[in-house]
Amino acid sequence: MTEDDGVARPRPAATVMLLRPAAGSDAGRAERPMEVLLMRRVPTMGFAPGAYVFPGGRVDERDADGDLPWTGPSPEEWAGILGTDVARARALVCAAVRETFEETGVLLASEPERAGVEAITLDTATDDWERDRLGLIDHTHSFTEVLRRRGLVLRSEWLRAWSRWITPSNQPRRFDTWFFTAELPPGQAARDVGGEADLTRWTDPSVVAEEWGAGRMPMLPPTVIACAQLADRRTLQGVREARRDIVPLEPDVREIGGQLRVVAPDGSDFPLPGPGAGQ
């Protein structure tokens, strides 16, 4: 697809469904009901204003940096999982971790000698970490520079590929987005850092469909569907055990009953979020 044929080229992007165990249960961390982090985009955003989304964004050219300190599956392994080339796979994993940190303050990284997400504690709420977060946003420095200076490695093993969605071809802004899941590392907390979102909330994924249907949580179809899939898995352990085939899915936009609606591959249809949604 090219701009020349009147169809916008989809830009590669990554988004992370950040998960944590719900409180109020005596079960172990992995066996408790879970919550997912959702953010409401400010109404002035050019894409999906007012919609609830997962943290994420488009790939930056520096995300493909081969010097990025890294553990877990290699970029070559991720290429096979994500169905893309090695450079794109490296960039997608980096973008997923970088964007999550930029938008929530949660960092999926640690010192190299530490092992296991449940053993990691990293305080990213300090003033010096905040300077690094803002520096990533304004491109003062790259993610590779931040991690190397702090002696940290990106933990690609903390990510799990979930799905891939492409914005319909009749939309002016299009993204080819890979969805990942990741568990909130113990000792870290998601922060409402402003910018692209005006609200951040941990949500039981099983209530999202009802909230969306009642008009209280407008969101794009991939987000609704992903939350329903998480609800089916019920727990962190259920997500860990899920078997996912990553294939590109492109919903269709049609006028139904005088309203533009997005039709998902399974035939279900959803209203298209627009200006003022969720206000």
Residue 104 predicted with pLDDT over 90: yes
With CA atoms as reference, report the closest residue to 17 among 279, 242, 167: 242
Q: DSSP secondary structure string, 231-267?
A: HHH-BHHHHHH------EE--EEEEETTEEEEEPTTS
Q: How confident is the model at residue 277 (pLDDT cuts 50, 70, 90)?
A: very low
Burial of 253 (0-12, 13-18, 19+ CB in 10 A): middle
Q: How confident is the model at residue 196 (pLDDT cuts 50, 70, 90)?
A: confident
pLDDT digits (tens, 9 = 90+) for 220-262: 888 988 998 999 999 999 999 999 999 998 887 788 888 777 7
Whether 278 is covered by a domain: the verdict is: no
- Which residues sit opposite 57 in a β-bridge? 14
Residue 143 has pLDDT above 60, yes or no: yes
What pLDDT score was predicted for residue 231? 93
Mean pLDDT, to the nearest integer, of 135-153?
94
Tell me the percentage of the chain whose pLDDT exceeds 90: 55
- Structural domains counted in the chain: 1
Query: pLDDT-based confidence at 15, cuts 50/70/90?
Result: very high
pLDDT higher than 90, residue 129: yes
> Residue 279's pLDDT is what?
29
Q: In the predicted model, what is the mean pLDDT of residues 112-128? A: 72
Overall pTM > 0.85? yes
Tell me, yes or no, whether 272 lies in a domain. Answer: no
What is the domain extent for residue 197? 3-248
The answer to whether residue 75 scores a pLDDT higher than 60 is yes
Q: Is 76 exposed, middle or buried (0-12, 13-18, 19+ CB in 10 A)?
A: exposed
Answer whether residue 256 is part of any domain.
no
Among candidates 278, 272, 274, 270, which has minimal Cα distance to 213?
270
Report if residue 244 sits inside a domain: yes
* Position 278 confidence tier, pLDDT thresholds 50, 70, 90: very low
Residue range 29-59, pLDDT digits in tens: 777 889 999 999 876 666 667 789 999 999 9
Identify the CATH number of the domain in which residue 177 sits: 3.90.79.10
The verdict on residue 238 lying in a domain is yes
Distance CA 30, CA 27 (A): 8
Give the per-residue pLDDT at 168.
Answer: 83
The verdict on residue 146 lying in a domain is: yes
Residue 113 lies in a domain: yes
Of residues 255 and 278, more confidence is placed in 255
∠ at Cα 211 (247, 216), nearest 5°?
110
What pLDDT does 275 receive?
39
pLDDT score, position 170:
79
Domain assignment present for 260: no
